[in-house]
Amino acid sequence: MAKKQLVGAKVNGREREAAVESRLLLVHFIRESLQLTGTHIGCDTSHCGACTVVLNGKTVKSCTMFAVQADGAEILTVEGLASESGQLHALQEGFKQEHGLQCGFCTPGMLMSSYALLHNNPNPSEEEIRRGISGNLCRCTGYQNIVSAVQYAAAKMAKAEIEANAAQGVAK
Amino acid sequence: MIPPAFEYLRPNTIPEAITLLRQHGEDAKILSGGQSLIPMMKLRLARPSYLIDINRISGLSYIKEEGGFLKIGGLTREAELEASPLIHSKYPILIDTAHVIADPQVRNLATVAGNLAHGDPANDHPATMLALGARVVATGSGGERVIPIEDFFLSLFSTALQPDEILTEIRVPVPTARSGGAYFKLERKVGDFATAAVAVQVTLDGNGVVQKVGIGLTNVGPTPIKAKKAEDFLRSKKLSEASNRQAAQLAADEAQPSSDLRGPAEYKKGLIQELAKRALSRAAERAGK
């Protein structure tokens, strides 16, 4: 039995910890050690992006990183997108409204790549969206509805921000 | 796919990392971005007994100009290169290159130094660094040594790095006025290795005559190729459509592609010719011909 080491990470805002073998991939740590099965294993060869998570603010393919490397990191997975009360994130709502999924297998990865994209660029052009999700494969939609879903979310998030700023102005 | 078992070591300094390399020799591998190494471990093409993770070593991630060189740290990620205003304004050839390496997630982890140290002729930065006349700094138990990039790639997956050395810095000569470069790559899909690609860097004088030129070829031989005959032909010539065409032909002659799933060898030679023409004219444009 190989030696195990303790890996701790803040996952979706909660401190989590598990003893793992050094060769355990991050995606297996997330799915099996932490039982967060929203993150999918697709190709397992770094091509498809189904396993994408946000690690310290940047998207990574969790099938191409060891769990031990993530020790001390902050990780966001698809389970961390909706609010505690279950209200969907604007992106999740966008994928639903715009039919941004059919079989849904690529969706968690698509959501995480789109999340990081909008975080860095709240008003992306269509080309920037397509580039932003270029590390994620979808075999159903032909991508058009995914692009529409991200545009829906960008518009909704921009509107929410304007309203929040207005409300703040009134409060002042 | 589960990679074979290994012992995970995480040094905090370069001397610690070198000590570990000395201790474990050929059984150890440096883990930086891991975006080539981990897939190879899954396929059992690499089975290191020890992985030395250098990601927590501080001070190895930077992009700066100093002493006539652009210096890129050993841990600088492709995504950092893409986001750098300095690289955007003065080194568009590096933006061309970083943009077509794998995909956004991979570029968030993959390092520029790793792209060279891996010694894969299919990687993109080797050709670009050959065109730019870069040097790499290898740090080992004997201290630092500087290796010209044209002496770095020895054979398939083999470089001039000694078993106890780490590639800690890349140095690119700061381009003088009227310099420009470009990288043109054909890939079947995002994230694929190049079917073929060409990097060109030129420096012109006031009359558009070539003072300096570097041409690198990707994935058309057992190592990245410096197209010396094409370079020699262009030196002291005025760039024109005719000279570009002849140089592109020479570059294609220097390519040694093999036929594979990405296409027959003849097709790849044709590609090198066309991509070289395009890269030459874009480089000249950027040099302000």
ipTM value for the complex: 0.95
Same domain, B198 and B276: yes
B52 contacts B131 by C-beta, under 8 angstroms: no
Tokens of A65: 């990183």
Tell which wins on pLDDT, B143 or A167. B143
Check if A107 contacts B (Cβ < 8 Å).
no
Average pLDDT score over residue span A108-125 = 98
Residue B161's CATH number: 3.30.465.10
Same domain, B207 and B113: no
Domain containing residue B81: 63-173
- Return the pLDDT at A172: 58
Mean pLDDT of the residues in chain A: 95
- Return the pLDDT at A136: 98
The C-alpha atoms of residue B11 and residue B54 are separated, in whole angstroms, by: 6
- DSSP letter for A69, please: G
Tell me: pLDDT of A5 over 90: yes
The C-alpha atoms of residue B153 and residue B243 are separated, in whole angstroms, by: 29
Residue B45's CATH number: 3.30.43.10
C-alpha distance across the termini of chain A, in Å: 63
**Within a domain: residue B58?**
no
* Type of residue found at B74: G
Residue B223's CATH number: 3.30.390.50
**Chain-chain contact of B103 with A45 (C-beta, under 8 angstroms):** no
Q: What percent of chain A has pLDDT over 90?
A: 92
- Return the pLDDT at A169: 78
Tell me: pLDDT of A3 over 90: no
Domains: count for chain B = 3
Check if B46 contacts A (Cβ < 8 Å).
no
Same domain, B70 and B157: yes
Residue-wise pLDDT for A59-80, tens only, equals: 999 999 999 999 999 999 999 9
Structural domains in chain A?
4-79 (3.10.20.30), 90-171 (1.10.150.120)
Of B2, B53, B109, the CB nearest to A60: B109
Same domain, B97 and B163: yes
- DSSP letter for B279, please: H
- Return the pLDDT at B289: 60
The C-alpha atoms of residue B201 and residue B2 are separated, in whole angstroms, by: 42
Q: Residue A49's CB: how many other CB atoms inside 10 A?
A: 29
Check if A69 contacts B (Cβ < 8 Å).
yes
**Within a domain: residue B183?**
yes
- DSSP letter for A153, please: H
- Which residues on neighbouring strands pair with residue B148, listed in sequence order? B135
| Chain A residue with minimum CA distance to B83 | A120
Question: Which pLDDT band holds residue A171 (cuts at 50, 70, 90)?
Answer: low
The C-alpha atoms of residue A150 and residue A18 are separated, in whole angstroms, by: 34
**Within a domain: residue B1?**
no
- Return the pLDDT at B23: 96
Q: What is the mean pLDDT of each run of 10 residues along chain B (289 residues)?
A: 96 98 94 97 96 97 98 98 97 97 98 98 98 98 97 97 97 97 96 96 95 98 98 96 97 98 97 98 92
- Which residues on neighbouring strands pair with residue A54, listed in sequence order? A59, A76
**Chain-chain contact of B105 with A49 (C-beta, under 8 angstroms):** yes
Domain boundary among B173, B208, B229: B173
- Return the pLDDT at A168: 83
B107 contacts B101 by C-beta, under 8 angstroms: yes
